[in-house]
Chain A
C-alpha cells in the first residue's frame, strides 16, 4: 500500500499570501491518479485537482497542482478568506485508494 505523507501539518498564512502544500508518496505514483481535495469544517470534501495538475470543474485558477513520481505540490497563488481549510492528497493504485493525513491552512 502506498503511504502519502503531507507537509506541513499546519500552515499559518495571511489572506493574499501564497500557500505551498506538499504530498510525498512512499513509492512512485502514476500522476494520472493523484488528486487534491479541500474540506471545510462540517462539510464534505471537494475535489480540486485531478491527474496531479488538472483543475476540477468550477475550481478557481489560483489553485494549481504539480509534481510527479513521489513528490507532488498543491499551490494556492493568493489565499482568499474562503481558502482556509484542510487539504488532502489522494492516490489510486492496485485497486486501493489512499489519502494523506491532511494539511490545515489557517489564518495567521
Chain B
C-alpha cells in the first residue's frame, strides 16, 4: 500500500526555521521525483518545489526560492523541506506528492500544517 506521511509542522514565529519530513512506503522511492505542494487555509493549491529521483535536479516556486530547500535521503525513503526565514504567507498545509505520469502529482500525503505567527 502506497503511503506518504508528512511530519514536522507546527507553529513558528516569523523569521524562524522549520524542517518538514515526508516518509514514503509502498513504492521504490529512489526511482521517483518528489514534490512539495502547499495549501493556505481556505485557498487553492500552490506548487512549492520538486526534486529529481537522485537529488540532482531541484526547482522552486519564485515565492520560496532562496528560503526553502528540498532534499531527500533515499536510504531512509524520506523527503525533506527545510524552510528558513518563514513569513506569515507561508502558513499552509504542506503536502508531499509523488512525481506521476505526464508531470502530474499522482500520490499525495495528507499534509502537515505550518502556522507562521508571532
Which A residues lie at the B interface, using CB under 8 A? 1, 32-33, 35, 37, 39, 43-47, 50-51, 54, 56, 88, 90, 92, 95-102
With both chains docked as a complex, state the minimum distance between the C-beta of B22 and any C-beta of chain A, in angstroms: 12
Given A45-B45, A45-B108, A88-B45, CB of A97 within 8 Å of CB of B102:
no
In whole angstroms, what is the CA distance A107 to B59 when docked? 39
With both chains docked as a complex, state the minimum distance between the C-beta of B115 and any C-beta of chain A, in angstroms: 17
In whole angstroms, what is the CA distance A11 to B50 when docked? 32
A50 & B35 in contact (Cβ 8 Å cutoff)? no
With both chains docked as a complex, state the minimum distance between the C-beta of A19 and any C-beta of chain B, in angstroms: 18
Q: Within 8 Å CB of A95, what residues of B?
A: 50, 59
Q: Within 8 Å CB of B35, what residues of A?
A: 97
Q: Within 8 Å CB of B95, what residues of A?
A: 44-45
Not counting A37-B105, A50-B101, A95-B59, a sample of 8 additional A-B residue pairs whose C-beta atoms are within 8 angstroms of each other reads: A44-B109, A47-B105, A47-B106, A88-B44, A90-B105, A96-B59, A98-B47, A99-B46
A50 & B45 in contact (Cβ 8 Å cutoff)? no
Chain B residues touching A, range: 20 to 34
Q: Within 8 Å CB of B106, what residues of A?
A: 47, 56
In whole angstroms, what is the CA distance A50 to B111 when docked? 22
In whole angstroms, what is the CA distance A94 to B100 when docked? 17
With both chains docked as a complex, state the minimum distance between the C-beta of B46 and any C-beta of chain A, in angstroms: 7
In whole angstroms, what is the CA distance A102 to B109 when docked? 20
| Nearest chain A residue, comparing its CB with the CB of B6 | A44
Which of A39, A44, A50, A96 meets B104, CB within 8 Å? A50
From residue 88 to 118 of chain B, which have CB atoms closer than 8 A to chain A? 95, 100-106, 108-111
The answer to whether the Cβ of B61 comes within 8 Å of any Cβ in the partner chain is: yes
| Nearest chain B residue, comparing its CB with the CB of A42 | B110
In whole angstroms, what is the CA distance A85 to B95 when docked? 19
Between A and B, 14 residue pairs with Cβ closer than 8 Å are: A1-B62, A35-B102, A35-B104, A39-B45, A43-B110, A44-B108, A45-B95, A47-B105, A47-B106, A51-B102, A92-B103, A95-B59, A97-B105, A99-B45
